[in-house]
Amino acid sequence: MSIKFVKVAAFAMAGALTFSAGSVLAQEAKSLDELLDFVKRGQVQEQKENRAREQRFAKDKANQAAELRKAEAERARQEQISTQLEDQFEENELLVVAKQQQLKEKLGTLAELFGHLTSTAGDLSTNLENSLTSAQYPGREAFLQELIAKMSGSDTLPSIEEIERVWYELNREMVESGKVVSFSAEVAKPNGDKGEQKVVRVGTFNIVSEEGKYLQYVPEKGSLEELARQPSGPYIGWARGLANASDGMHKFGVDPTGPTGGSFLAALINSPNLEERWHQGGYIGYAITAVGAFAFLLALVRLGYLASVSSKVSKQLKSDKANENNPLGRVLKIHEDNPTMDPETLELKLSEGILKETPKLEAGLTLLKIISAVAPLMGLLGTVTGMIITFQAITIFGAGDPKAMAGGISGALVTTVLGLLVAIPTVLLHTIVNGRAQRIIHVLNEQTTGIIAEHTEANQRS
């Protein structure tokens, strides 16, 4: 029983050895002797493989040593080349310095000339790039930039023709700055449309289209564009008249602060017109305007009414019979209806008639007086409101940006102006209307006094 167990264990070991030996032990051992033979043959095979590996390792080591020696030789060669190049570089540096000194000696005073020429060409290039004349003569600055690059290279010299062309461009720009010329060019509208049209250039100050619209030259695009916002006042009419003229003297607004529409034209364009300034007053400004319009209409109505009454009173003064279509006639009617009344009672009756007529004649005067006093207070309210808005803007954006505060300050000042513009005419209108009313009342008092005197005198005679 134990022998069989040993055989089974041996066969298991043989199977394991067979698996580890690879192709040499391709089949299982049938006995212990055969198993030993297989083990021996496996050891021999492994020794052969190990020797083959050792040979390959030795060969690779020899190859690596050869490659190492080859790389070291290449490094030495490159170091030698680098040393030669460094020596050559130092020699070339000395040669360049000598050549530059030689060039400087040969140039002599020409070096100073070329320096001035480079500076002049640079300034002229900048001026031509932004000049209105470039809309008529494009591409001039490209030549100057090429010339500057050429002279900055120090390897080539400018030719006589190039120097003369710089002189020519200087003179042409000077001559064109004093001309008013007309030519055709492509103009871009604010909506993006482009079209060829006649334009008029006034020196280097302004350029306008045949429609009288002011244009600006955009150097980045090299094109003319119509200003989105045109100056107000007579400037458009002047520009249109100049564009359609062929000769003679014409009035025209010139902006001397910039070649492409300088700061003066920009300030003129950005200045708000009368309507825009009125809108800056906001709701308080609208309220002041409404009150002022009401006061003006009321004054006109009262003046018309008093003028009509005054005309009727004048006619009544010329008539011996009382007419009840006017205050004087109605007062005289009291005397006609009571010819035998005693003077004291008649005087009271006539005074009562005058008191009845006075409110009609003085109607609206109190309201005009109140409006003349309230309008400045409304303007003051707008001023305080505008300053509150200004301080809020300062709190949010700081005091570094004046545009953030401009809205509140504009509203404050505009409401103050509107309040004064309403108050001052209202005071004058109140004075005029009150004067007309008091003149009629004075006539009533005068006639009443005369009637009482005549009535008293008649009673005394009787």
Each residue of 348-364: pLDDT tens digit?
888 888 888 888 888 88
Residue 440 CA, distance from chain mean position? 60
**Phi and psi torsions of 248, nearest 5°:** 90, 180
CB 69 within 8 A of CB 75: no
Task: Dump pLDDT digits (tens) for 429-438.
Answer: 999 999 999 9
**DSSP state, 318?**
T
Calculate helix-pair angle for 365-397, 282-317, nearest 10 degrees: 170
Rounded Cα distance between 93 and 87, Å, is 10
Handedness of CA 423, 280, 300, 374 (dihedral sign): negative
Identify the CA nearest to 419 among candidates 383, 368, 390, 386: 383
Rounded Cα distance between 204 and 131, Å, is 6
Calculate helix-pair angle for 327-337, 282-317, nearest 10 degrees: 40
Rounded Cα distance between 183 and 61, Å, is 87
Ramachandran quadrant class, 229 (left: phi over 0; alpha: psi -120 to 50; beta: rest): beta
CB 243 within 8 A of CB 212: yes
The residue type found at 212 is: G
How buried is 124 (Cβ within 10 angstroms: 0-12 exposed, 13-18 middle, 19+ buried)? buried
Name residues of the chain where pLDDT drops below 70: 1-29, 103-111, 153-156, 233, 256-273, 393, 396-408, 462
Q: What is the pLDDT of residue 14?
A: 40
Residue 182 CA, distance from chain mean position? 30
Q: What is the pLDDT of residue 181?
A: 84
Helix (H, G, I), strand (E, B) or coil at 354: helix
Render the burial of 404-433: b for 16+ CB within 10 Å, e for the rest: bbeebbbbbbbbbbbbeebbebbbebbeeb
Q: What is the pLDDT of residue 18?
A: 41
Rounded Cα distance between 311 and 237, Å, is 47
**Domain residue ranges of the chain, discontinuous segments joined by +:** 179-271, 274-461
3-state secondary structure 119-155: HHHHHHHHHHHHCHHHHCCCCHHHHHHHHHHHHHCCC
CB 378 within 8 A of CB 284: yes
Helix (H, G, I), strand (E, B) or coil at 222: coil
Handedness of CA 415, 416, 418, 419 (dihedral sign): positive
| Residue for token pair 């004093």 | 178
For residues 382, 384, 388 and 390, what is the CA-based torsion angle, rounded to 10 degrees?
Answer: 70
Task: Dump pLDDT digits (tens) for 25-63.
Answer: 445 667 777 777 777 777 777 777 887 888 887 777 777
Residue 458: CB atoms within 10 Å: 12
CB 252 within 8 A of CB 202: yes
Rounded Cα distance between 417 and 382, Å, is 10
Q: Which helix (H) or strand (E) holds 198?
A: strand 194-202
Rounded Cα distance between 253 and 262, Å, is 13
